[in-house]
């Protein structure tokens, strides 16, 4: 009798699982993918699209088509609850899907729940990206909340788009920490100088307390006007794991072992931003790690059904980041190395296009 594997979400790691399944099936296993959109938009190209360098088709993968090639049944639904003891997944329309093994790669959110009814918008889940960016980049004073890699890159790309299109006004950014807080302070200083040179207004170490129709209020009492708020703050967990009474960290991300198995449930796997590794709890929620988890996850799903030993994922000690800063220039960060020039952008463009080519 065949068993069933559910792949929930179409993040970086699950794309690799699908690709591997086009080459080698798992014997006697029926496989389904559950995802709320047939398209997966690649975050590495969001800045280029924002600036106008890429078309929509450049940035997205047709997951339904990739699943068909892998002989995986694609279900366009959003998962809202999992019942591990009953081996059942519940979707938003209350449909129920039983499973023997399940794997999650659903990413994270960025907009806090208490701001969902305000003027603040976000680009997560990523299939909302195109609509939100096209709306905000035409406005005069867009405000980005978040000074991490995503926030700084999108702010710079919005600025470049406005320059090219001759749209008046200026881009603004508010962050509760310094710019690029996970990098050495001298890297932050270089980014601050770049923002100043381009005329992008920055408020550092200021937490947004209130979002109104045409202004935000910070904890320090600053009232900052805007024509649209794009929230790209820290990762916020999907509520599915808390709703399912699974073991999570204090932010609601599911705990997984180094084999990418859920704590307490070896038949459940997870990768990417939606999980926190017990052995590496401070690992950043970043696609550069999810990409490396993909091959390990694919192997372990094969091995689990075959009752073979599983691999452990050991995160790379240093990750390469290249942020697009506008006009085909890149800001490269790799450990103690950092530089900003056209060569860095060309490197980023090649990496991103090679990634997309792999799954198209």
pLDDT digit of tens for each residue in the chain (360 aa)?
799 999 999 999 999 999 999 999 999 999 999 999 999 999 999 999 999 999 999 999 999 999 999 999 999 999 999 999 999 999 999 999 999 999 999 999 989 888 888 999 999 889 999 999 999 999 999 999 999 999 999 999 999 999 999 999 999 999 999 999 989 999 999 999 999 999 999 999 999 999 999 999 999 999 999 999 999 998 999 999 988 989 999 999 999 999 999 999 999 999 999 999 999 999 999 888 999 999 999 999 999 999 999 999 999 988 899 999 999 999 999 988 889 999 999 999 999 999 999 998
Cβ contact 187:333 at 8 Å: yes
Cβ contact 109:23 at 8 Å: no
3-state secondary structure of 340: strand
The C-alpha atoms of residue 111 and residue 150 are separated, in whole angstroms, by 13
Per-residue 3-state assignment (H helix, E strand, C coil) for 224-279: EECCCEEECCCCECCCHHHHCCCCECCCCCEEECCCCEECCEEEEEECHHHEEECC
Beta bridge partners of 225: 215
- Tokens 């892998």 -> residue: 70
Q: Which domains, ranges and CATH numbers included, belong to the chain?
A: 3-108+237-305 (3.50.50.60), 113-234 (3.50.50.60), 320-360 (no CATH)
Q: pTM for this one? A: 0.94
């Amino acid at each position: 009798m065949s068993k069933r594997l559910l792949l929930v979400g179409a993040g970086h790691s699950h794309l690799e699982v699908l690709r591997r399944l086009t080459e080698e099936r798992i014997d006697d296993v029926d496989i389904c993918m559950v995802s709320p959109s047939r398209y997966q938009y690649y975050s590495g190209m969001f800045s280029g699209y924002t600036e106008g360098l890429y078309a929509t088709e450049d940035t997205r993968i047709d997951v339904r088509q990739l699943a068909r090639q892998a002989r995986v049944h694609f279900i366009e639904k959003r998962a809202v609850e999992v019942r591990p003891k009953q081996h059942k997944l519940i979707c938003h329309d209350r449909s129920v899907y039983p499973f023997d093994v399940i794997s999650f790669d659903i990413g994270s959110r960025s907009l806090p729940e208490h701001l969902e009814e305000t003027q603040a918008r976000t680009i997560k889940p990523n299939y909302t990206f195109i609509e939100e960016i096209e709306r905000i980049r035409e406005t005069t004073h867009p405000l980005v909340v978040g000074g991490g890699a995503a926030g700084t890159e999108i702010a710079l790309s919005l600025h470049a788009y406005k320059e090219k299109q001759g749209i008046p006004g200026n881009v603004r950014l508010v962050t509760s920490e310094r710019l690029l807080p996970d990098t050495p302070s001298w890297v932050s200083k270089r980014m601050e100088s770049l923002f100043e040179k381009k005329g992008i207004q920055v408020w550092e170490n200021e937490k947004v307390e209130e979002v109104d129709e045409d202004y935000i209020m910070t904890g320090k009492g600053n009232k900052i006007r805007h024509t649209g708020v794009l929230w790209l703050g820290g990762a916020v967990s999907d509520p599915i794991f808390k709703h399912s009474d699974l073991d999570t960290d204090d932010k609601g991300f599911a705990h997984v072992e180094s084999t990418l198995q859920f704590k307490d449930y070896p038949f459940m796997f997870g990768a990417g931003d939606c999980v926190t590794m017990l052995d590496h709890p401070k690992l950043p929620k970043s696609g550069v790690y999810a990409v490396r988890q993909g091959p390990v996850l694919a192997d372990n799903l094969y091995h689990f059904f075959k009752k073979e030993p599983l691999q452990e994922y050991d995160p790379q000690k240093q990750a390469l980041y290249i942020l697009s800063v506008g006009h085909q220039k890149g800001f490269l960060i790799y450990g103690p190395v950092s530089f900003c020039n056209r060569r860095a952008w060309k490197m980023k463009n090649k990496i991103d296009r090679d990634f997309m080519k792999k799954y198209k």
